[in-house]
Amino acid sequence: MNRRQFTFGLSAAALSHLEAGTHHEAKADACIFLAMLGGVSQIDTFDPKPKLVDLDGKIMDWSKEKKTDQPNLFAKPRKFVASPFQFQKYGQSGREVSELLPHTAKMVDELAICRSVQSDNGNHPAAVFQMNTGFIIPGNPSMGAWVTYGLGTGNKNLPAFVAMPDFRSIPFSGAQQWGSGYLPAEFQGTVLRATNEPIRDLASPSNVDTEAEREALRGMNGNFAQLRSDYPDLRARMDSYELAYRMQLEVPRVLSIDAEPEHVKEAYGLNDPVTASFGRRCLMARKLVEAGVRFVEVFTPSQSWDAHGDIRKNHEKNARETDKPIAALLADLKQRGMLKKTLVVYMGEFGRTPDTPADQATPGRDHNTRCQSMWFAGGGMKGGSMIGTTDEIGHKAVENVYHMHDVHATILHQMGLNDMRLTYYFGGRNRRLTDLGGRLIKELV
């Protein structure tokens, strides 16, 4: 079946470039992307480096390294920093996870970990753009927009692509991170907030007879469309109002968290102010996917994981806010039989360095585009698998090196789309999420 017949909106322009839905059989119907803004340290989560224990505090010699992407960083002497966190093997797969993520660790057999993802720019804004759109410059469609463009939505009453930023600090460039770029606006992400009005302008004003308004609007628009039956946009626009009315009923129902059982709320950490914000959005993500939403992106606050000043303090805080809700999300999806068809992705815009400026009292870690550890779960990924090796200090991926484009290609692949074939003609050529193409991370599927 062509899933695009259920596009969230309709327009002649958009319908004209609709082709077949999937390119091949999809392993995942939906994707939940957990964006760890600021960049999680691989060395302190999934990529233990015992060698750093020996090197801790020693001055690093960077003279042989190419320094182009972060010249300021390497201008001064730097010293190695051992991870302040202990690692332990978990699950049947025996993957090592640090004590930072005790809850995720319990789900390690569901994870397909890649420890060798590289990206192109060590500056947050450009790197966040690349994570979301494939490119380090603004103006390109986000991955959720591409997926929606490729597949349409799986439901009639909700947006296909939902973005849930943390309003304490929204991602750089705001809506462009979930925007449709040069794709039609119907593919842009709809922002959902954890408030009484989750979607902007969803609620009707309370002191107005909206039923009477609706009747009059239907009547007048109906008469007009009858006179001009040759122009399909008139009908399409009337249909969009019917969808809007259904959304007004459906969205609050889908997102009503109060009705969730106490143990679910507890599992997602809704009862603890530390985990409540991320937990609430993880739970909403599950409910949205359950209702047929295609792509959900949940963001931590902008630059939250950016541990320049103090790796321990920063990462402990962020791990506490996210670890428990994420594990609960995985367990909940699994328990409901949804994990098989739901791809969950956990990553930041880059990894972090094994060292810190030599004169810094509390050791931190800086930006590192040469490797990061990220994981997939569900959606046809091989649970308990792992690929990618970094050098002995965790500075650079050296084996089975992958790129951000490859992560995108893998997401699209699992969702039944071929990244080379998912194109949109703009500015003189066919554009892609992965530019000239990415590679499937085949070891993990």
Partner 1 sequence: MSFWLILVLAQDPLLPILAKQCGTCHTGKQAQGGLSMDSIEALKKGGKHGAALTPGLSAESLLVQYVTGEKTPRMPLGGELDAKAVSELRAAIDAMPKGAAVSKRDAHLDWLLKKPGAVPVPVVAQKSWVRNPIDAFVLAGLEKQGMKPATEASRRVLLRRIYFDLIGVPPSPEEMKNFEADTDPLAYEKAIDRLLADSRYGERWGRHWLDLVRYAESDGFAIDGERPTAWRYRDYVIRAHNQDKPYNVFVQEQLAGDEGKSKNQVALGFYRFAPWEADANSKKLLRQDFLNDITSTVGSVFLGMTTGCAQCHDHKYDPISHKDYYRMQAFFAGTAIADLPVGFEEAERPKEMRRKMREHEDAADAGQAELDRQKEALKQKYLSLNKDEEGLKKFLGKLNTRNLFFLEQDLPLVKEPEWREPLRRYFETRDGVQREQELARRHQAIAYAIRDVAPPAAPEIPDTYVLTGGDLNAKGEKVKAGFLSCVAGTEPAEIPFAGGSNGLRLALSDWIASDQNPFTARVMVNRIWQRHWGEGLVRTPSDFGKNGDVPSHPELLDWMANEFIAKGWSLKTMHKLMLTSATYRQASVNAEQATYAAKDPMNRLLWRMNWQRLDAEVLRDSILSISGRLNPEMGGPPVVFDVPADVAQGFEFFKWFPSSEEQQRRRSVYLLQRRSVLLPMAETFDAPNLSTSCARRLTTIVAPQALTLLNGALTRTEAKHFEARLAGAKDPVNEAFWLVLGRGPTAEERRMSEKLSLSSLGVVLFNLNEFLFVE
Scan for tokens 């060698």, then name that residue.
51
Nearer of residues 24 and 89 to partner 1, judged by Cβ: 24
For 45, other C-beta atoms within 10 Å of its C-beta total 31
Show contacts with partner 1 in window 235-274 (CB under 8 A).
Answer: 236-238, 240-241, 243-244, 247-248
Q: Are strands 351-352 and 342-347 parallel, antiparallel or unpaired?
A: unpaired
Nearer of residues 92 and 207 to partner 1, judged by Cβ: 207
Pick the binder of partner 1 from 96, 234, 260, 387 (CB under 8 A). 234
Closest distance between partner 1 and the C-beta of residue 105, in Å?
A: 28
What does the alpha-carbon distance between residue 341 and residue 31 come to, in Å, rounded to a whole number?
Answer: 9
Q: What is the CA radius of gyration of the chain?
A: 23
Interface with partner 1 includes 358 (CB under 8 A)? Answer: no
What does the alpha-carbon distance between residue 44 and residue 91 come to, in Å, rounded to a whole number?
Answer: 19
Pick the binder of partner 1 from 102, 155, 175, 382 (CB under 8 A). 175
Pick the binder of partner 1 from 54, 61, 201, 258 (CB under 8 A). 201
What does the alpha-carbon distance between residue 67 and residue 139 come to, in Å, rounded to a whole number?
Answer: 28
What does the alpha-carbon distance between residue 350 and residue 120 come to, in Å, rounded to a whole number?
Answer: 9
Interface with partner 1 includes 224 (CB under 8 A)? Answer: yes
Pick the binder of partner 1 from 106, 154, 418, 443 (CB under 8 A). 418
Show contacts with partner 1 in window 86-125 (CB under 8 A).
Answer: 121-125
Nearer of residues 170 and 398 to partner 1, judged by Cβ: 170
Interface with partner 1 includes 215 (CB under 8 A)? Answer: yes
For 180, counting Cβ atoms within 10 Å of its Cβ (0-12 exposed, 13-18 middle, 19+ buried), the class is: buried
Nearer of residues 56 and 120 to partner 1, judged by Cβ: 120
Show contacts with partner 1 in window 46-65 (CB under 8 A).
Answer: none
Nearer of residues 88 and 210 to partner 1, judged by Cβ: 210
Binding residue count for partner 1, defined by CB under 8 A:
89
Nearer of residues 86 and 195 to partner 1, judged by Cβ: 195
Interface with partner 1 includes 173 (CB under 8 A)? Answer: yes
What does the alpha-carbon distance between residue 114 and residue 234 come to, in Å, rounded to a whole number?
Answer: 49
Closest distance between partner 1 and the C-beta of residue 68, in Å?
A: 6
Pick the binder of partner 1 from 22, 204, 360, 362 (CB under 8 A). 204
Say if residues 361 and 387 touch (Cβ distance below 8 Å): no
Choose the binding region for partner 1 from 42-50, 166-174, 305-313, 389-397 (rule: CB under 8 A): 166-174
Show contacts with partner 1 in window 69-88 (CB under 8 A).
Answer: 69-72
Show contacts with partner 1 in window 272-331 (CB under 8 A).
Answer: 302-303
Pick the binder of partner 1 from 84, 91, 102, 138 (CB under 8 A). 138
Pick the binder of partner 1 from 27, 51, 340, 421 (CB under 8 A). 421
Pick the binder of partner 1 from 53, 75, 217, 274 (CB under 8 A). 217
Closest distance between partner 1 and the C-beta of residue 102, in Å?
A: 24
Say if residues 139 and 182 touch (Cβ distance below 8 Å): yes
Closest distance between partner 1 and the C-beta of residue 217, in Å?
A: 5
Say if residues 49 and 354 touch (Cβ distance below 8 Å): yes
Show contacts with partner 1 in window 4-43 (CB under 8 A).
Answer: 8-14, 19
Interface with partner 1 includes 401 (CB under 8 A)? Answer: no
Contact characters 141-160, partner 1, x per CB under 8 A: ------------------x-
